[in-house]
Amino acid sequence: RARDWMLAHQDQEEGFWVAELQADTTLTSDYVMLRAFLGSLDERIKRKAVRHLEMEQLPDGGWNTYAGGPSEINATVKAYFALKLAGLKEDAPMLLRALEAVHRLGGLERANLFTKIYLALHGQVDWEHIPSMPVELIFAPNWLYINIYEFSYWTRTIIVPLFIIAALKPKKQVLPPNALKELYLKGPSKADWFQNGDRTFLRTLFMIGDSVLKFLEKKQISEIRARAVQKAEKWILERHFKTDGLGAIYPAMANAIIAMKALGYDEKENPTLAKALRDFEDLVIEEPDHLRVQPCVSPVWDTALACYALREAGVSGEHPALVKAANWLLDKQTTTKGDWQVKGNGMQAGGWYFQFQNEYYPDNDDTSAVLMGLQKIDVRDEKRKAEA
C-alpha cells in the first residue's frame, strides 16, 4: 500500500515527488509583517493568517517553534504583532493570553536580533537599539577571519540583504510607534543584546565597537557606504539568476525583497523584484479558512529518497516511474559556479541542491541522496547512461 501511495503521488508530467515542508507559525507571522511592509496586507490574508495563528496558539497563550515544544519568545512576539497588524485589539482574548506569555518568557527585551529588526522595519523598535551591521563587511577579503564566505550559505544569503536594510533603515509605520509597549517588562536597552547580563571583556568590547560604528554612521561616510551598498546589491541580483528567489529559502527571500524595496525598486518596472515576489508567494499554502507558509520546497531531496525507498521496497529499477524520476534528477544537476567555489579550489561543479532551482548552492546532503537514489535505476536513455 505504501508503494502504491508513493507512485500515485508522483508528479505525472515531470516525474518528481514533493511534499509540504512544514514549519512553525513564525513564517506566517513574518508573512503578515512583510505584506504590511509592502502595503499589500489585504483582508483575506488577515483573516486566514489570524485563523492559522488561532489554531496554533498553545494553552498557555504562546506559540512554539517545533511541534510539541514549549512557548518561545520570538514566535510569540511575532504572532502578537502579526495579530495586531491584522486588526485585533489589545483586549482580544488571543492577545491577552499572548501578552501574559510574553511577560512570562521575559518580555520583548528577550527577543532576538532578527525579531527586533523586523519590528524596527515597522517603527516598533528604534534602530539605535539594533546592533550595527556594517555593510562595508561586503568588502572583506576571503583570507580575513571574518568575511561573508565564512558563513553557511543560508546565513550568507540572509545577512547580505540585511546589510543593505541596516544601512538604509527603511520603515513602514502601519501601527503607532508604541503599539508594542505593553510587551516590555522594563523597556528597550542595549543590555538586551546580552541576555545573561554578565560584564565580560567581550561584551564591553562589543558595546564600544557598536558605539564607534554608530558614531561613524551618523558622520555619514557616504562614498564608502554607497559603494558597499552597491556591491551588496549587485551580489543579491547576481544570485537571483537560475534560482527560486535568493538562496531559494524563506528568510533570505524576504530580506532580499525588503532590501530591493528599500533601494527604490518597483515590481511593476523591475523584473527581478517581480520574480522575487512571485517566488515568495509560491511558498504560501492557502486553505479555504487559513494559510501557512513553507520555508522552502524540497523536490530534489524528496525525489531522491522516494527513488531509493521504492527500490528498497521491491519496485523494479526499470519501472517507468523511477526512470522518469531519474531523468528528472539528472536534469537538476548543476554546473553553475556557485559560492562554494570561493573555497573549492577551482573544482568542477556537478552537485545537486534541495529545491526546484537553486543553482548557486548545491550541497553534500542532496548530492549524496541523489547518488543513492540513482544507483539502482536503469536509465533508458543511452546518453543519460553515459552521463551517469
| pLDDT tens per residue, range 99-127 | 999 999 999 999 998 999 999 999 999 98
Q: Is 280 exposed, middle or buried (0-12, 13-18, 19+ CB in 10 A)?
A: buried
pLDDT at residue 236 greater than cutoff 80: yes
How many percent of the chain have pLDDT more than 90? Answer: 79
Please state which of the ranges 61-75, 246-260, 344-358, 363-377 shows the lowest mean pLDDT: 344-358
pLDDT at 194: 56
User: pLDDT (tens digit, 9 = 90+) per residue, 356-376?
Assistant: 999 999 999 999 999 999 998
User: Tell me, what DSSP letter sits at residue 348?
Assistant: P
Q: Is 55 exposed, middle or buried (0-12, 13-18, 19+ CB in 10 A)?
A: exposed
CA distances from 294 to 28, 237, 249, 284, 370 (A): 9, 23, 9, 6, 23
User: pLDDT (tens digit, 9 = 90+) per residue, 279-334?
Assistant: 999 999 999 999 999 999 999 999 999 999 999 999 999 999 999 999 999 999 99
For residues 81-94, give the mean pLDDT.
Answer: 97
pLDDT at 134: 87
Radius of gyration of the chain from its Cα atoms, rounded to whole angstroms: 23
pLDDT at 202: 62
Residue whose entry in the numeric block shows the C-alpha cell 533570505: 252
Q: How far is CA 272 from its chain centroid?
A: 18
pLDDT at residue 26 greater than cutoff 60: yes
For residues 20-49, give the mean pLDDT.
Answer: 97
Q: Whole-angstrom Cα distance, residue 265 to residue 246?
A: 16
pLDDT at 129: 84
In sequence order, the 6+-apart residues with CB closer than 8 A to the CB of 285 are: 20, 291, 292, 293, 294
pLDDT at 212: 65
Please state which of the ranges 216-220, 248-252, 264-268 shows the lowest mean pLDDT: 216-220
For residues 157-170, give the mean pLDDT.
Answer: 95
Mean residue pLDDT across the chain: 91
pLDDT at 223: 79
In sequence order, the 6+-apart residues with CB closer than 8 A to the CB of 150 are: none
Taking the complete model, does pTM exceed 0.85, yes or no?
Answer: yes
- pLDDT bucket at 345, cuts 50 / 70 / 90: confident
Q: Which residues are catalytic?
A: 365
- pLDDT bucket at 219, cuts 50 / 70 / 90: low
Q: Whole-angstrom Cα distance, residue 52 to residue 289?
A: 8
